[in-house]
Amino acid sequence: MSRFPAIGEHAQHPAYGVLRKVTPVASVMLADNPSIMTLDGTNTWLLRAPDSVSCVVVDPGPLDEAHLARIAACGPVATVVITHGHPDHAEGARRFAELVGAPTRAVNPALCHNADPLHDDDVIAAAGLRLRVLATPGHTADSLCLLLDHETGKAVLTGDSVLGRGTTVVAHPDGKLADYLNSLHRLADLPPGTLALPGHGPELPDAAEAARRYLTHREQRLAQVRTAVDELGGSPTARQVVEVVYADVDHSLWAAAEWSVEAQLEYLRTEN
């Protein structure tokens, strides 16, 4: 869960239930779970080298039997990876593991099934590919990205750390803004032209450039929050700050905005 999309994005999407090839080694299937927080739905990624029979599945998504069955039919599945523990990415993982008999790996040990938890710089070798784990906490404490360096090109699966559209919520108190800024700097250092394969929204041609845009956006929001705190005086609540900083944003998104503002206020208190 994570972002601030435009309103009115909930019509039936033509990509539901369809496996779409994005690169020679990465395909995506969109889960039918659209909402204010999930955009058109969760992207479930299937990764396999051109000569591999098996695949790696990233973020099986919600507990939707039809979606999980369609992904399972694309197997065999060598391993399952979860980018973070929010239900729109991980709720269906245990059921999916039962369907395909594959281990499930994540940073959080509670999300792992017949496998060890993942750590920064771990390498997952499966389906003819090598995926390097980048620990990218901030959206959540357990957020990770997966760097895929194949002869056909470089890509990074970003989960909710970078989205194909909109901005990411720092899910306070689990998510920390200081961690998120550090993670964005790490993504901004990726080689130019590294394709971003996000957990929601369309793929982006340059993950590093997207991360730099996010950093600029965060700096602007922090400046707005600082100004709002000064204008409001005392110790304003997150809701009071939201009403000032997000006055031009649809009110249906204010509850999500409060998460990020709580994280920003905590960051400013620590910074001072």
Task: Please give the pLDDT value at position 1.
Answer: 42
pLDDT tens digit sequence for 77-103: 999 999 999 999 999 999 999 999 999
- Given a contact cutoff of 8 angstroms between Cβ atoms, the answer to whether 149 and 19 are in contact is no
- Is the bond into 173 cis (omega within 30 degrees of 0)? yes
Lookup: tokens for 82: 């979860």
Max Cα distance, the chain (Å): 62
* Helix ranges (DSSP H) in 85-206: 87-90, 93-100, 177-188
Task: Please give the pLDDT value at position 12.
Answer: 61
Lookup: tokens for 98: 């039962």
Task: Please give the pLDDT value at position 233.
Answer: 86
pTM recorded for the entire structure: 0.91
The radius of gyration computed from the CA coordinates of the chain, to the nearest angstrom, equals 18
CA distances to 94, 161, 234 from 106, in Å: 12, 15, 41
Distant-in-sequence, close-in-space partners of 138: CB < 8 Å, separation ≥ 6:
161, 170, 175, 176, 177, 179, 180, 181, 182, 183, 184
* Cα distance between residue 195 and residue 152, in whole Å: 11
Residue at token pair 């245990």? 94
Segment-wise mean pLDDT, segments of 10 residues, the chain, 272 residues: 40 78 97 90 97 97 97 97 97 96 97 97 97 98 97 95 93 94 98 97 97 96 93 90 89 85 91 66
Label the pairing between strands 195-198 and 77-81: unpaired
- Given a contact cutoff of 8 angstroms between Cβ atoms, the answer to whether 157 and 28 are in contact is no
Kindly list the structural domains of the chain, giving each domain's residue range(s) and its CATH number in brackets, ordered by start.
19-212 (3.60.15.10)
DSSP conformational letter for 33: -
